[in-house]
Amino acid sequence: MPIDAKTLGGRIAEARSRAGLTQQQLATAVSLGRPAMNKIENGLQRVSALQLARIADELGVRIEWFLDDAPPAILSHRNLREPGAASPVIDTVIERIVRDVEFVLAEDKKAGLVTVDPFMRPTTNAEVEAMARHARSLLGLDDQEPVKEIAKVVAPQGLLVFALRLGADSADAASVMLERGGIALVNGDLQVGRRRLAVAHEFAHYLLADEYAVDWRVAESLDPESWEARLDRFARALLLPEPGVTGMWNRCVDSGDDVRTAAVRVASYYRVDMSTLARRLVELTVIDHSGAHLVRGARTTRADIVELNLVVADELAPPMLPREYELAVLRLYRQETISSARAIDLLLDTWEESSLPPLQPLPEDAIWTFVR
């Protein structure tokens, strides 16, 4: 449905505010006068397609942002934000992903996300630990094994994980609930251990049915009673289950490993960084704070990898799109529901056009079938 000039102008004004620009700055950037920009934003002057394209490019949004209604979770998030506050990069990127995923889900009949029943919100550390055990059971994991390839493990529960480079100063991760299922976006510029921790943290938001969450510096909260700190603890408990971690640590020490060697073995097996392992061992009272200092200072070397026969995995290396989503886009392309250009766009420009599969030529009578 075409939108009226007032609605379009309001969306331009909103995008400008989120980008932290004044009317004058935007007008100058797109070669307009400020009075003209003021009229456009107030719906008193229509904007041409070329002008709209320039505005979209300058504000770092896509044209459909102005023309289509945003998903409900995005709208709700915007309404809660301070008007005029600059929008983090991750907000813009995940909004694009939400729009793309919802388009694919609507067009591809084979694509479908499940939705899990929301978990009760934990109010104590004991409840956080119980929630993590429940979540591991949901993922088909026992109380000993590591969470391997966490993006693949959470996908059957309806959470699609994307990992893209967002910059060192961007947020760690964000997640959005969809009508069915949800999306998590992880900053691919983080180290692998922190990327995995961020996914586990977003999985907590998803299980609790949090509509929209943007998380900065996961697992660095200084207030252990804060809500985000509880979700950080959930993330550690999901990746480092108490029986498994405690048992493996004690076996390492009993066999003669020093703290550093035990830390290297356990962190490698559970695929976490040393800071996450140290915090988990302290909260499980396996080591004290001086031991945690030693664990945090440990670094896995090439010699460790060879001598301890460690497995090196670079999970969530950017760009990484969920396989289920890539398959759905390819089905739409093979069915010629979308063009090659649209397929590459939906794949977030992480694919080359030459990587798309060749299409089967249409039968000679296809045109007559079409005409009938």
CA distance 289 to 301: 24
pTM of the model: 0.86
How far apart (Å, rounded) are the C-alpha atoms in residues 329 and 296?
A: 42
pLDDT score of 216? 87
In order of 44, 99, 162, 269, 316, the CA distances from 137 in angstroms are 58, 31, 23, 19, 23
- Please say whether the beta carbons of 86 and 170 come within 8 A: no
Average pLDDT, stretch 156-165? 97
What does pLDDT average to over the chain?
A: 90
Q: What is the mean pLDDT of residues 10-20?
A: 85
Angle at 197 (CA atoms; ends 99, 311), nearest 5 degrees: 115
Give residue 89's pLDDT band: very low, low, confident or very high (50, 70, 90): confident
| Res 224 pLDDT > 80 | no
CA 256 – CA 14 distance, rounded (Å): 62
Cα–Cα distance list, 248 to 145, 215, 281 (Å) = 11, 31, 12
Q: Measuring CA to CA, which residue among 163, 164, 176 is closest to residue 101?
A: 176
Distance CA 3, CA 34 (A): 23
Q: Which residues pair with 184 in a beta bridge?
A: 161, 175
Question: Residue 19: is it exposed, middle or buried by C-beta count within 10 angstroms (0-12/13-18/19+)?
Answer: middle
For residue 28, pLDDT over 80 is answered with yes
Tokens 């996961």 sit on residue: 218
